[in-house]
Amino acid sequence: MTEYDAVVFDNDGVIVEPSDQSVLVDAVVDAFAAFDVPVDASTVRQSVAEDAVPRDLIADHGLDAEAFWHQRELTASLAQQAHTRAGGKPVYDDVRALDALDVPLGLVSNNQHATVEFLLAHHDIDRFDTAYGRQPTLAGAARRKPDPAYIEQALSDLDASEALYVGDSEKDVVAAHRAGIDSVFLRRDHVSDVSLDVEPTAEVADLRALVERLPELH
């Protein structure tokens, strides 16, 4: 049996707890305010839930999409950093189980790269050999999962061809399959009732179970 030559993980909901949606909603409202555009939370809540570029709102107010998105990403990252310093986005207890793995590890998140770097430094996590988040541009937004671009970058960094991606969303499973690698759906409490329209290679309840089952997955 050939073993995996790398394991790559999502970040939010896998390594650290997901971002509080209200923090992100407030950040988007603040981003519009930076352009003197007043919007209320209800107006931007859907785009935040979908993690989408609010193109209609941008166009309606005559904003430059690239300039707005850069501001939005900066504001969202700083808001999450402040939230983390105040005790938000803690590391899951089972992350320490990854110390038992003897293969290269990577991290690929749909969150901003600046946020990913901050979280790893703040929580003193140095287990990952490479880590990517999205760049604060429209092109960076387009490369988010389910696009496999950032996963493929991580695999190149790790010189991996038989890898596994671990995430907590359908986008993660799809992105892994598009990158040509296996996937594990991590069914933590916040996704306990989620139904998937795609089939992962395996499903586990936590990272301890992942480490235990890893030898039999490939």
Q: Is the separation of the CB atoms in 183 and 11 below 8 Å? A: no
Q: Does residue 81 sit in the same domain as residue 102? A: no
H or E element at residue 186: strand 182-186
- Give every residue of the chain whose pLDDT is below 50, as ranges: 1
Q: Helix (H, G, I), strand (E, B), or coil: what is residue 183?
A: strand
Q: Is residue 95 part of a domain?
A: yes
Q: What is the C-alpha to C-alpha distance for residues 137 and 144, in angstroms, rounded to an integer?
A: 11
Q: Is residue 171 part of a domain?
A: yes
Q: Which pLDDT score, from 0 to 100, does residue 187 have?
A: 98
Q: Does residue 105 sit in the same domain as residue 182? A: yes
Q: Does residue 73 sit in the same domain as residue 122? A: no
Q: Does residue 140 sit in the same domain as residue 66? A: no
Q: Tell me the torsion sign for CA atoms 168, 58, 29, 132.
A: positive
Q: Is residue 119 part of a domain?
A: yes
Q: What is the C-alpha to C-alpha distance for residues 99 and 79, in angstroms, rounded to an integer?
A: 30
Share of the chain above pLDDT 70, in %: 99
Q: Which pLDDT score, from 0 to 100, does residue 2 have?
A: 59
pTM, two decimals, is 0.95
Q: Which pLDDT score, from 0 to 100, does residue 25 have?
A: 97
pLDDT digits (tens, 9 = 90+) for 42-51: 989 999 998 8
pLDDT digits (tens, 9 = 90+) for 153-183: 999 999 999 999 999 999 999 999 999 999 9
Q: What is the CATH number of the domain that holds 36?
A: 1.10.150
Final residue in a domain of this structure, among 66, 85, 104: 85
Q: Is residue 1 part of a domain?
A: no
When divided into structural domains, the chain yields a total of 2
What is the residue range of 110's domain? Answer: 6-18+90-217
Q: Which pLDDT score, from 0 to 100, does residue 218 have?
A: 74
The conformation of residue 10, written as its DSSP 8-state character, comes to -
Q: Does residue 195 sit in the same domain as residue 131? A: yes
Q: Does residue 28 sit in the same domain as residue 112? A: no
Q: Is the separation of the CB atoms in 75 and 68 below 8 Å? A: no
